[in-house]
Amino acid sequence: MVGAEPGRMILVVDDDPAMQKVLNLGLESSGFRVRVCRNGREAVELLSDPAVNPDCMLLDIRMPEMTGLEALPRLKLLRPHSPVVMLTALNDLESGLESLKKGAFDYIVKPARLQQIRETVSRAIRHREALLENEMLARKNEEYRQRLEMMVEERTRELRAAYIRIRQVNIETVQVLAETIEAKDVYTRGHCQRVRALSVGVAEHLGYEAGGIEMLEYSALLHDIGKIGIPEIILNKKVPLEEDEYRVIRTHPDIGHSILRKVEFFVPVLGAVRQHHERWDGRGYPDGLAMEQIDPFARIINVCDSFDAMTSDRPYRSARTKEEAIEEILRESGRQFDPAMARAFVESGVHSRV
């Protein structure tokens, strides 16, 4: 029985000396320690000492200086986990009910049998223990939640760092492939890197998310990978191509698509690699696609690729100025180029930074 455990402290607050004596003797005989206060003010002053922490309080309603109803909220504020049992006279039941609304655990009508008081006090203490146990469990749950959050945050940091490393390795691998392409075509050295930078600038202007921009970077770096399959004599020819040579060079998007489709990682870039020479008006190659049929990445790369080609020297022609290249892009908007992508290229100002 809870009441039989030594060390339980009951605070009795009652101005009636006879009631004080009855409660003191009765509760001590059940193994409780008892402290007595004569009114609510004394009880509030007593509990201002943090060392005094009763397991239960018996609080009379009618007392001088400070009534039980006046003391109740103050005592609950000082010791929120200590249940309060109100002691009320038979003609004061309404006040007893009012005390329950203010946070009392229960009330006992005086005169009461000692057995009833012991049972009520024991229930109140069990209630207190349940509250304390629930609070302890809640605290442990909160500590566990915080530890779990820290573990998740740490794991997230590790995964983010791993992702950054993997992304860097991927970019470096793709850059090596791009440099392999350019090693065959000495006149386009740095072309893929510039197209990458231009494409990223346009995508950022259009509000692309990080994941989309990353795939666009791979697409831009690899858009000419099919030139691996084009003879160097054609790539490095110092005069304009013959018609049959031009037909060969036009196969590089299809070659690039065939190379990359064997690697699952490159699936998101296949459309851009194959379609970067398609035209908005449907007169491009290799499939003659038009307008929205063309991969969005390909439409961005088409503008950026053309700008870099126009502003780069070739053996058979000199580079145009950036202003001339922009005028050409605006003229070809709606024919060679997606109008939205041509406009974004010009408005982004990326051409002035590359």
User: CB count, 10 Å around CB of 256?
Assistant: 26
Nearest CA to 184 among 135, 233, 245, 238? 233
pLDDT at 163: 73
- Whether residue 231 has a cis bond before it, omega within 30° of 0: no
Nearest CA to 125 among 213, 53, 40, 35? 53
CATH class of the domain at 2-138: alpha beta
CB contact at 8 A, 73 and 59? no
Signed CA dihedral, 246, 250, 256, 259: sign only: negative
Helix (H) or strand (E) holding 72: helix 68-78
Q: Round to whole Å and give the CA distance between 118 and 106.
A: 13
Q: Round to whole Å and give the CA distance between 340 and 302.
A: 12
Angle at which helix 210-222 crosses helix 296-310, to 10 degrees, equals 50
Q: What is the DSSP string of 271-308?
A: HHHHHTT--TTS--SSS---GGGS-HHHHHHHHHHHHH
DSSP assigned state of 84 = E
106-113, long-range: CB < 8 A, 24+ apart = 108/58, 110/19, 112/87
pLDDT at 241: 77
CB contact at 8 A, 12 and 23? yes
pLDDT at 168: 74
Phi, psi of 178, deg, nearest 5: -65, -40
Mean pLDDT, each 10-residue run in order, the chain (354 residues): 63 92 90 93 94 94 90 94 88 79 88 88 92 89 90 86 75 70 65 89 90 89 84 74 83 88 84 93 93 94 92 75 90 94 89 72
When the candidates are 3.40.50.720, 1.10.3210.10, 3.30.160.250, 1.10.150.110, the CATH number that belongs to 185-352 is 1.10.3210.10
Q: Round to whole Å and give the CA distance between 314 and 53.
A: 91
pLDDT at 186: 59
Across-strand partners of 277? none
Structure tokens at 118: 């012991």
Q: Round to whole Å and give the CA distance between 249 and 252.
A: 6
Maximum pairwise Cα distance, the chain = 122
Q: What residue ranges do the domains of the chain occupy? A: 2-138, 185-352
pLDDT at 183: 64
pLDDT at 4: 45
